[in-house]
Amino acid sequence: MNKQVIFIRHGYALHNDLFWKLGKKAYSDYVDTPLLNKGFSQAYHCRDIFLKEMTQLKRKPDIVLVSPLTRTLQTAMCIFSNDIKMKALDCLVEYPQGGFEKCNIRKEKSMLETVYPSVDFTEIDQNLLWSSHEESIDELNGRIKKLWDYIGSIEESLIVVVSHSSYIGQLKDKKIGDEENELKHCYPYVMMAEYDNEKNFLKAYEIKDHTFEEMTEE
Summarised one tens digit per residue, pLDDT across range 73-94 is: 999 999 998 889 999 999 999 9
What pTM did the predictor assign? 0.94
Q: CA angle, 60 as apex, 123 and 162 as ends, to 5°?
A: 40
The per-residue pLDDT for 215 is: 56
**Could you give the residue ranges of the DSSP H alpha helices within the chain?**
14-22, 25-29, 37-57, 70-79, 109-115, 137-153, 165-173
Nearest to 90 by CA among 169, 30, 159, 143: 143
Rg of the chain (C-alpha set): 16
pLDDT band of 179, cuts 50, 70, 90: low
Polymer length of the chain: 218
What φ, ψ does residue 110 adopt, rounded to 5°?
-60, -40
Whether 200 has a pLDDT exceeding 60, the answer reads yes
Q: Which domains are present in the chain?
A: 2-206 (3.40.50.1240)
